[in-house]
């Protein structure tokens, strides 16, 4: 027995109950003049299945995006570690400062530390937002290409419906076009550049050290 997929509900047809007497009367009225009508042949839908999430993860472009994200994360982590060390050193000096706590010099250093801490927190948020937005844009570009290729294959092979694999419980192997799409995708779009907002992603310029 062939197994077919359980996918989106294609349609539900419910026939309204008709009494036998009413049906006979209707038939009797139509019988003399009615000509036998030839039913139009039903169109059989050709359905294909594609694993979009799998394509994003396993394609060359998808892997390139992930590699760039990891590289950028490591770069940010190094930057944040440096900021954390600087802030730690400043905090330690403040706690060990022999100058009177109520002096203007100490108050100036304390405010400088608080400002630098606030700027560091802001920087971390900006870096994270830039990376998240860049990743989203790159994946969106990849998904658009996948849709374009799927549409082209569907047109060539006369598929009337293409369903995402995540919405399907069971499907015949020959209905899955994921490998065909992957082959085209790796050829047409082997790489997607991760673009970040330069204002938020570029390393901050080092502030001049006060003498």
Q: Is residue 92 part of a domain?
A: yes
Q: Is residue 1 part of a domain?
A: no
Show the domain range for 65.
47-201
Q: Is residue 196 part of a domain?
A: yes
Per-residue tokens: 37: 């009508």
**Per-residue model confidence as pLDDT tens for the chain (211 residues):** 333 333 332 332 233 333 344 444 544 455 454 445 555 556 678 999 999 999 999 999 999 999 999 999 999 999 999 999 999 998 888 887 766 666 788 888 888 999 999 999 999 999 999 999 999 999 999 999 999 999 999 999 999 999 998 888 887 888 999 999 999 999 999 999 999 987 666 654 444 444 3
In total, how many domains does the chain have? 1
**What is the residue-wise DSSP string for 60-115?**
HHHHHHHHHHHHHHHHHHHHHHHHHHHHHHHHHHHHH--S-TTSHHHHHHHHHHHH
Q: Is residue 169 part of a domain?
A: yes
Predicted TM-score of the model (pTM): 0.68
Q: Is residue 211 part of a domain?
A: no
Q: Is residue 28 part of a domain?
A: no
Q: Is residue 62 part of a domain?
A: yes
């Amino acid at each position: 027995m062939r197994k077919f997929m359980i996918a989106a509900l294609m349609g539900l047809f419910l026939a309204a109950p008709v009494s036998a007497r009413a049906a006979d009367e209707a038939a009797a009225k139509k019988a003399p003049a009615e000509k036998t009508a030839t039913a139009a042949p039903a169109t059989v839908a050709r359905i294909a299945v594609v694993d979009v999430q799998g394509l994003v993860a396993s394609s060359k472009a998808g892997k390139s995006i992930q590699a760039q994200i990891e590289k950028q994360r490591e770069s940010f982590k190094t930057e944040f570690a440096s900021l954390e060390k600087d802030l730690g050193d400043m905090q330690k000096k403040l706690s060990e400062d022999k100058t009177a706590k109520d002096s203007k010099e100490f108050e100036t250093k304390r405010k400088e530390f608080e400002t630098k801490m606030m700027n560091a927190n802001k920087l971390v948020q900006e870096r994270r937002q830039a990376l998240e937005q860049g990743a989203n844009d790159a994946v969106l570009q990849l998904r658009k290409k996948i849709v374009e290729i799927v549409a082209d294959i569907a047109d060539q092979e006369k598929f009337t419906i293409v369903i995402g694999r995540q919405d399907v419980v069971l499907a015949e192997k020959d209905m899955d076009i994921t490998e065909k799409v992957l082959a085209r995708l790796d050829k047409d779009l082997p790489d997607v550049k991760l673009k970040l907002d330069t204002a938020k992603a570029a390393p901050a310029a080092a502030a001049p050290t006060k003498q």
